[in-house]
Amino acid sequence: MSVPDASRAKRAAAGRMTREAWVEAGIAALMEEGIANVKIQVMARTLAVSRSSFYWFFADLQELHRELLEYWLRKNTSPIIERALRPAPTVTKAVCHIFECWVDPGLFNPRLDAAVRSWGQVDAAVREVVDQADDQRVDAVTRMFLRYGYPEQEAFIRARVLYFTQIGHYTLGMRDDRDMRLRLLQPYLLSFTGREGSDDEVAAFEELARRVQPDG
């Protein structure tokens, strides 16, 4: 292939790129190597396009960084808030709704959450976004407890215990498998709410967990 032909091929490949493809490459690099390795040249090599094609979609790397944070907020914060606000006949059923985020990888990505938190350790602006997201998540869970008659301070503390227990679970890299989590579901419900979940609630959650995390 001649030099002009190679240039045309690179332009054609870049033309087939999308902003979303660059964001996905950035997310993958962030989870695998950390923010220090979210580099244009590395992502371009992964996408098999020229480095210059990045600038068709982003003014600079900082714009991509902002997009990565927005992606994280949509991916990992919105589902928690949505499920905390979802109507349920009992508080234990409401907690099971939140627990869906912990068993369904389509709702919450633990590796992405850990990667963004690590990023926040070296970037004060990112840490501020992380802190705000934690506050939003805890506030949503607090409001969930308030709906079931818990006093305001107790609702807040129970929300913090529930939420930070799970985040700590991921941060520490604990590797409880699905079956262990299901065996511990009823004790967790009792610990977080002070009430026992019904057999029907536990069975429904177990069915969902096995559906989203099939054996094998």
Query: Concatenated DSSP letters for 120-169?
Result: HTT-HHHHHHHHHHHHHHHHHHHHHHHHTT--HHHHHHHHHHHHHHHHHH
Q: What pLDDT does residue 166 have? A: 87
d(CA 125, CA 131): 10
Whole-angstrom Cα distance, residue 25 to residue 30? Answer: 9
The answer, yes or no, to whether residue 16 has pLDDT greater than 80, is no
CA dist 153 → 139, 160, 188, 194 (Å) = 12, 11, 20, 15
Q: How does DSSP classify residue 36?
A: G
Token match 């301070």: residue?
Answer: 153
By the 8 A CB rule, do 182 and 206 touch? yes
Q: Average pLDDT of the chain?
A: 89
The answer on pLDDT for 3 being more than 80 is no
**Backbone region of residue 202 per phi and psi (left: phi > 0; alpha: psi in -120 to 50; beta: other values):** alpha
pLDDT band at residue 215 using 50, 70 and 90 as cut-offs: low
Sorting pLDDT into bands at 50, 70 and 90, what band is 171? confident
Q: With cut-offs at 50, 70 and 90, classify the pLDDT of residue 6.
A: very low
Which of 1-15, 49-63, 105-119, 170-184 has the least mean pLDDT?
Answer: 1-15
Instruction: For domain 1-58, give the CATH number.
Output: 1.10.10
Contact 212, 103 (CB under 8 A): yes
More confident residue, 68 or 183: 68
130, 35 contact by CB (below 8 A) = no
Residue 57: both structure tokens together: 């979609």
What value does the mean pLDDT take over residues 129-149?
A: 97
Helix (H) or strand (E) holding 191: helix 185-193
Per the model's pLDDT, the better-predicted residue between 146 and 14 turns out to be 146
Which residue, chain included where needed, has tokens 């902003």? 19
- Looking at residue 168, what is its pLDDT? 85
pLDDT band, very low/low/confident/very high, at 128 (cuts 50, 70, 90): very high
Domain boundaries, the chain: 1-58, 61-212
Q: What is the CATH number of domain 61-212?
A: 1.10.357
d(CA 69, CA 88): 31
Give CA 9 to chain center in angstroms. 37
152 has pLDDT over 60: yes
